[in-house]
Chains A and B, each alone.
Chain A
Amino acid sequence: GAVVSQHPSWVICKSGTSVKIECRSLDFQATTMFWYRQFPKQSLMLMATSNEGSKATYEQGVEKDKFLINHASLTLSTLTVTSAHPEDSSFYICSARWGFEQFFGPGTRLTVL
């Protein structure tokens, strides 16, 4: 089956630093990837839709200058949290489209101190 990986699986950083999270489709090419955010004990909220070779489409209320998304190839999308603050601590999950299906990565837990 289609496999999506995320790296790192967890990261701890200091307030004010930037963190990059990678989402890779391992055995298929994904023209579209999605980035979700999940707060503790809450549901997933879509942050942005990432299309290969074009600018990401951000959901209302998501700061595009803070959450930089790059989809440079058909197998890799990255989410960079710039100048991270404790309120950015969350579980970030990506998903990738393959044909008529969507496959989810295992998630990245970000903790900002």
Chain B
Amino acid sequence: AQSVTQLGSHVSVSEGALVLLRCNYSSSVPPYLFWYVQYPNQGLQLLLKYTSAATLVKGINGFEAEFKKSETSFHLTKPSAHMSDAAEYFCAVSESGTSYGKLTFGQGTILTVHP
């Protein structure tokens, strides 16, 4: 079975600072990995996904993530935080090895951005 661990349930940064949200996974098959953002009382929006192509994946809103197989990690970064980035972020792995199968989510990381 696959699992996802997000290190840090809360991350706080200043506006303009680097954002780093950590995600580690375990999977018995080559994983498909995802980062989603959730704003209060809303559904999930896909930020980016890794599907075994390029290891550095660029997503929307200036976010990117790097797949590191040796570290079983898929950390999310953004060079300069914006106030609108404040939200909850979920890392997920696809159990079926596809981008449309069942997803296993991490615990979530709440990002706070201070002015």
Contacts and interface: CB of A to CB of B under 8 A. Distances in A.
Interface string B8-39: 00000000000000000000000000001000
Given A43-B90, A46-B102, A109 B41 contact: yes
Contacts of B98: 100
B66 to A, nearest CB: 22
A91 B44 CA distance: 12
A61 interface: no
Nearest to B49: A101
A49 B100 CA distance: 12
A104 B100 contact: no
A34 B102 contact: yes
B115 interface: no
A66 to B, nearest CB: 20
A30 B42 CA distance: 21
Given A49-B102, A102-B103, A43 B41 contact: no
Contact of B45 (A6, A34, A104): A104
A90 interface: no
Interface string A41-64: 011111001000000000000000
A107 B41 contact: yes
Tell me which of B42, B43, B99 has the highest count of chain A C-beta atoms within 10 A of its own C-beta: B43
B107 interface: yes
A42 B42 CA distance: 14
B43 A93 contact: yes
Given A43-B108, A46-B103, A91-B41, 20 more contacts: A4-B43, A6-B43, A34-B102, A44-B105, A45-B105, A46-B104, A93-B43, A95-B44, A97-B100, A99-B100, A100-B99, A100-B100, A101-B100, A102-B100, A104-B43, A104-B44, A106-B42, A106-B43, A107-B41, A109-B41
Interface of A: 4, 6, 32, 34, 42-46, 49, 91, 93, 95, 97-102, 104-107, 109
Closest 5 CB pairs of A and B: A104-B43, A104-B44, A106-B43, A97-B100, A43-B105
